[in-house]
Amino acid sequence: MMEWAVRRKVDERPFADPQSAAEALAKDVAVRLRFGIAEHGHASLVVSGGKSPLPFFAALRKQRVDWPNVWITLADERWVDPTSPDSNEALLREHLLRDGVEAARFVGLKNAANTPEAGLAACGEALAQIPTPFDVVVLGMGADGHTASLFPAMDGLAEALDPAAVAGPVAAIAPVEPTARISLNLAALLNSRQIYLPIQGVTKRAVYHSARGGGISAKVRITEAFLQRQFPVAALFIQERVPVTVQIIDD
């Protein structure tokens, strides 16, 4: 366990459903982006891909933000063409970067290199355009405890989770296709004024609480690494909707 892993009080917020969580998160993020612009003339946002953040993206598009002064990038990316259905960039362009948000300065992680390893330097140079610390980082968490493309069993995980490492991208291998990925490392993701970690369902919540309790399994150490004391983290607990079956019995 990291020496500072679970000492900071995490802001834990319960939500009854994904939509209410998405709307509350969008309002919070918009406030922080507006504040960043007012204070520094610009703001920055890091988001994750996948299906879970889609309601958040839809809610954020409705917020009033001076998008031309906002930088947006991804926490991780699959090493596929940016137009591929598997691409997080493609997902962002479809679900977030429209209705005015496309005016933001988007920095993608995928480049023309054949592999993530070959593309690391160019990716790092592209990310260097974005002012840091990031104003907001919105992460996700898998049932296996992974966040971004930092997976429990991947080679190089210890280095990727080293808070003293140089902040930037790392090559990653996912346990599912497409396996070749690129991800921001822990040092880069923690370099933020606010981190949000939406957690939906009992399985993911169990991983979170195990990490909060100082669990030592590979499944929880990634989550544990983000529950540090130096940067603010808000965990959004979202209940799963349980289908109700009504059985009608004739007398």
The answer to whether residue 248 scores a pLDDT higher than 90 is no
Residue 167 near residue 160 (C-beta atoms within 8 A): no
What integer pLDDT is reported at residue 239 of this predicted model?
A: 86
Domain ranges of the chain: 11-234
Predicted model pTM: 0.90
245 burial via Cβ count (<10 Å: 0-12, 13-18, 19+): exposed
The CATH class given to the 11-234 domain equals alpha beta
Q: What's the whole-number average pLDDT of the chain?
A: 90
d(CA 208, CA 216) in angstroms, rounded, equals: 12
Bridge pairing between strands 70-74 and 105-107 = parallel
pLDDT in tens, 165-176: 999 999 999 999
Q: What is the DSSP string of 173-216?
A: E-SSSS-EEEEE-HHHHHSBS-EEEEEESHHHHHHHHHHHTT--
Residues 6 or more apart in contact with residue 155 via CB below 8 angstroms: 173
What integer pLDDT is reported at residue 211 of this predicted model?
A: 83
pLDDT in tens, 36-77: 999 999 999 999 999 999 999 999 999 999 999 999 999 999
- Highest-scoring range by mean pLDDT, 80-89, 145-154, 202-211: 80-89
Identify which of 171, 178, 176, 148 has the alpha carbon closest to the alpha carbon of residue 85. 178
